[in-house]
Each structure stands twice: as structure tokens, then as C-alpha cells.
Amino acid sequence: MKEGEGGKHAIYSLSGVILEDGYPGTGMRRPSGPLNGLPESIRKSILSKAVKSGLIAETEDGFKATELGIGLLMNLDYRTCQIKSPLPLITLK
């Protein structure tokens, strides 16, 4: 999945008439995406650390989850944000 492009808010006049149309972001910056609303420096840092730790890999088409990244997601309890079973230690290079 690509990092994507940020969206643009529609611009309205004081009377509520649309002056310019808006559009949603794409890729990981889409409205429900994990990088939506984050500043560029933070987005780049997140992606860099995820690649260095082996959770994702950069491809020609963007990024993809690695086996380690998929294992982490499959073992995550989304209600508590805790890992259900132990995973190998992840270290940043």
C-alpha cells in the first residue's frame, strides 16, 4: 500500500455555497488510514522505523507487511492493545 496523498477540505462561503470541492486522502493517508492527519516528519519516522524493525518492507508499489508484521497484527488484542502471545524481540538497527 502506498503512503498516499493527503486530502483537501472543501471551501465554503459564509452563506454555505461551495467555492472549491474537497477530496479525501489516499493510501495510508485515507480518512481511515493509519497515517491520516499526521505531519510529514512523523509519517516518515513511522515508516522508517517500521521498515528498520522488519514489520513492513518497501516495494515498487509502496509498502507491504512482512511475515513478522502480519504475525504481530494477528496476535494483537485490539481492545487492550496488548500482544496475546510472545513474539521474537524486535530491535531497531
Residue with cell 524493525: 53
Query: Which residue stretches of the chain are H helix?
Result: 40-52, 67-74
The pLDDT, as a whole number, for residue 91 is 57
pLDDT by residue for the chain (93 residues), tens only, comes to: 788 888 888 888 888 888 888 888 888 888 888 888 888 899 999 999 999 999 999 988 889 999 988 888 888 887 887 877 766 555 555
The pLDDT, as a whole number, for residue 44 is 92
Q: What does the alpha-carbon distance between residue 92 and residue 5 come to, in Å, rounded to a whole number?
A: 27
The pLDDT, as a whole number, for residue 86 is 66
Q: CB-based contacts of 76: which residues, under 8 Å, 6+ apart? A: 82, 83, 84
